[in-house]
Amino acid sequence: FLAEQLWPIKGQLVLALIGLAIGGLMGLMQALDRVGIVIYKAMLMQTYYQGLTIHGVLLAFLFTFAFSNAFVSLVAIRGFERPLASTFLAQGAFWTMLVGTLLAAYAILTNQATVLFTFYAPMRASSLFFLGAALLVISTLLTALNLVLTRRAWQREHPGERTPLLGFVGVVTYVMWALASLGVVVLVVFFLLPWSLGWLKTTDPQFNRILFWYTGHAIVYFWLMPAYISWYLMVPRQVGGRVFSDSLVRLAFILLLVFSVPTGLHHQYVDPGIPTVMKVVHLFTTFSVVFPSLVTAFTVMAALEDGGRARGGTGLLGWIWKLPWGDPSVAAQLLAMLVFILGGATGIVNASYNLNNVVHNTSFVPGHFHMTVGTAVTLSFIGISYWLIPFLTGRELMGRRLALAQAWLWFVGVLLFARGQIAAGLLGEPRRSSIGEAPYRDLISAGLDNWLTAIGGTLMVISGLLYFIVVLWTVFAGRRLTQPLEIPVAEMRFGARETSPRLDQLGFWFLIAVILVAIAYIPTILLYLPLQSVSPPIKVY
Ligand code: HAS
């Protein structure tokens, strides 16, 4: 590892954890709001929405982007067994992430960008916020470019060989994101930024939404795929099992590349002005992108079973108890996987055109995404950090029991939280609404569902506090490791030699992804483009 490539990795990890700490703390305010305990002012917030914006932006963008940049860069260095192709790009990713964070944070903290993490019109934010958000995306794109160049450099050094799987999956993750980020890049650069600077008098909220959700669904797989890298290629090693085959892992990542992006209109099933036929096309692609997750469920489960049996597990389920549940890194990720089964199931409810009419814009949706990004991803990143921080600092993980308690508390907390949100949502409770304040306070009672949300959310915040105790204890008072740690990398039953060359041809699959995106989006975009010059001035909220 080159020192000049290692510090940007460490720096981005620190930024990610700052995002998790501050963003997570805001969750307490929102959870307690459900039962009428309103503490925004005590937490120095002007409104519920200011806190919710901090929560969403810091967790969904800063924490996830910065953690992925750090983790996937490290994984690529290990996978390709060479430094990243460009130190300039690696350091550039850190600086753009830092400056972007400072600009966006300034705008939000001064209440000039209370627009939530879905920042499309008609909510207008300060241009500093949009600039900050753009820089965060640019940071990920610099990482994407660096990973592609690193793969190219590796290929030049190893002509005719299959790309190492660990390197390949990292590159696929970022190539998918490069295609996915196009919508939000166009939205910010051509519409929101000029509009916020007053250069553009009007902007069309419906077209804004189309561009935002073009990125807005694929982004969830950009959050998820780094966790999948760990579930497929690291956790099996940590539990002593082997992964079934190199081909199957490559196939799952390639399917995610192909199907993640042309799905965004499923966030707009109830929007007027979008042809139903195009919504139905996105319905089919959404169900297609479920498939690689089902492949993941069975493949990872098989690798875990292999490990559990190698440790002496017998019978149908006996292997489960033999898994190393006492290792905080493993326990956190196994619990994250279990919650993802429910997260995925609720996603399928959301994606079903007619069921979506029942749950859209209700608290069912935050119930879903706290089990996906809020746990499958976040608890996995936490689990990864339990080996990553010792690896990067050369210090032993301290407070292992505390770390285990942290993982279980998060697991119990999110199940209560999601149970509350989902049941309340099915009764019609709106999302993104301060239930503890007028007018909702008088309309919605703090029944059992809202109490479960409040208790579950509070447990998640306490779990977060335990996590930061473990991290700070390790970083500042951890015992020096006598032996350097290794990055865990799983073995395959059927390795790269058995893999078809087609599954290593990234350019070919990228082209298919682009064609599918064109089919899924061009008809709707052509409908809206001519309207852009005539859209009437809109009211700014
Ligand atoms: Fe979603 C809304 C549909 C996955 C995040 N989603 C959201 C929003 C977020 C989000 C943040 O179709 C709200 C955005 C906003 O503010 O409006 N989602 C889906 C579907 C999937 C899905 C079909 N979502 C995710 C993931 C997310 C995420 C992943 C974050 C990381 N979602 C929707 C829809 C909406 C939506 C609609 C809009 C709703 C509306 O009306 O507004 C699928 O990809 C899910 C597939 C997953 C599975 C689960 C597989 C299970 C696995 C675990 C295996 C377990 C093992 C454990 C191995 C089928 C892989 C073994 C352990 C032992 C110990 C034995």
Model ipTM value:
0.94
Q: Whose CA is nearest to atom 16 of ligand 1?
A: 118
At 445, the pLDDT band (50, 70, 90 cuts) reads: confident
Percent of residues in the chain assigned helix, strand, coil, to nearest 5: 75, 0, 25
Average pLDDT, the chain: 95
Least confident of 81-85, 278-282, 441-445: 441-445
Q: In this model, does residue 210 exceed pLDDT 70?
A: yes
| pLDDT tens figures, 511-522 | 999 999 999 999
The pick from 67, 267, 295, 432 for probing ligand 1's pocket by mutation, whose C-beta has the most ligand atoms within 8 angstroms, reads 267
How many Å lie between the centroid of ligand 1 and the Cα of residue 341? 9
Cβ contact 292:255 at 8 Å: yes
Q: Whose CA is nearest to atom 63 of ligand 1?
A: 334
| pLDDT tens figures, 521-531 | 999 999 988 77
pLDDT of residue 534: 57
Least confident of 58-67, 383-392, 400-409, 532-541: 532-541
Q: Whose CA is nearest to atom 47 of ligand 1?
A: 344
Q: In this model, does residue 305 exceed pLDDT 80?
A: yes
At 227, the pLDDT band (50, 70, 90 cuts) reads: very high
> Would you please indicate which residues are annotated as catalytic (active-site) residues?
217, 221, 368-370, 431-432
Position in ligand 1 atom list of the atom nearest CA 116: 16
DSSP 311: T
Contacts of 336 (CB under 8 A, 6+ apart): 227, 375, 376, 377, 378, 379, 380, 383
Query: Span 449-476, mean pLDDT?
Result: 98
- Percentage of the chain modeled with pLDDT above 90: 90
Cβ contact 283:266 at 8 Å: yes
| pLDDT tens figures, 18-28 | 999 999 999 99
In this structure, the number of other CB atoms found within 10 A of the CB of residue 423 comes to 19
The pick from 346, 372, 381, 411 for probing ligand 1's pocket by mutation, whose C-beta has the most ligand atoms within 8 angstroms, reads 372
Q: Whose CA is nearest to atom 31 of ligand 1?
A: 373
How many Å lie between the centroid of ligand 1 and the Cα of residue 284? 16
Torsion of CA 469, 474, 478, 483, to 10 degrees: 150
How many Å lie between the centroid of ligand 1 and the Cα of residue 450? 22
Whole-model pTM: value is 0.96
Q: Whose CA is nearest to atom 52 of ligand 1?
A: 297
Cβ contact 238:391 at 8 Å: no
The pick from 224, 365, 421 for probing ligand 1's pocket by mutation, whose C-beta has the most ligand atoms within 8 angstroms, reads 365
Query: Span 323-337, mean pLDDT?
Result: 98
The pick from 232, 249, 352, 369 for probing ligand 1's pocket by mutation, whose C-beta has the most ligand atoms within 8 angstroms, reads 369
Q: In this model, does residue 539 exceed pLDDT 80?
A: no
CA of residue 479 relative to chain centroid, distance? 32
Q: Whose CA is nearest to atom 22 of ligand 1?
A: 347
How many Å lie between the centroid of ligand 1 and the Cα of residue 351? 10
> Within 13 Å and on the Cβ side, how many CA atoms surround 314?
1
DSSP 327: S
Query: Span 281-298, mean pLDDT?
Result: 96
pLDDT of residue 2: 85
| pLDDT tens figures, 390-439 | 999 999 999 999 999 999 999 999 999 999 999 999 999 999 999 998 88
Q: Whose CA is nearest to atom 32 of ligand 1?
A: 347
pLDDT of residue 264: 96
Q: Which helix (H) or strand (E) holds 493?
A: strand 491-494
At 494, the pLDDT band (50, 70, 90 cuts) reads: confident
Q: In this model, does residue 224 exceed pLDDT 90?
A: yes
Q: In this model, does residue 536 exceed pLDDT 70?
A: no
How many Å lie between the centroid of ligand 1 and the Cα of residue 139? 25
How many Å lie between the centroid of ligand 1 and the Cα of residue 125? 29
CA of residue 171 relative to chain centroid, distance? 16
How many Å lie between the centroid of ligand 1 and the Cα of residue 346? 7
Position in ligand 1 atom list of the atom nearest CA 361: 42
In this structure, the number of other CB atoms found within 10 A of the CB of residue 375 comes to 29
Position in ligand 1 atom list of the atom nearest CA 376: 31
| pLDDT tens figures, 124-164 | 999 999 999 999 999 999 999 999 999 999 999 999 999 99
At 532, the pLDDT band (50, 70, 90 cuts) reads: confident
CA of residue 5 relative to chain centroid, distance? 24
Peptide bond before residue 439 is cis, with ω within 30 degrees of 0: yes
Q: In this model, does residue 351 exceed pLDDT 80?
A: yes
Pair of tokens at residue 345: 């199931």
At 484, the pLDDT band (50, 70, 90 cuts) reads: confident
Cβ contact 313:319 at 8 Å: yes
Position in ligand 1 atom list of the atom nearest CA 263: 12
Q: In this model, does residue 82 exceed pLDDT 70?
A: yes
CA distance 426 to 424: 5
How many Å lie between the centroid of ligand 1 and the Cα of residue 224? 9
Q: Which helix (H) or strand (E) holds 101?
A: helix 87-109
CA distance 510 to 507: 5
pLDDT of residue 254: 98
| Residues with C-beta less than 6 Å from any ligand 1 atom | 118, 220, 223-224, 266-267, 286, 289-290, 293-294, 296-297, 300-301, 304, 320, 334, 337-338, 340-341, 344, 347-348, 350-351, 356, 360, 365, 368-369, 372-373, 377
Q: Whose CA is nearest to atom 59 of ligand 1?
A: 344
Position in ligand 1 atom list of the atom nearest CA 301: 58
Choose among 436, 290, 420: nearest CA to 364. 420
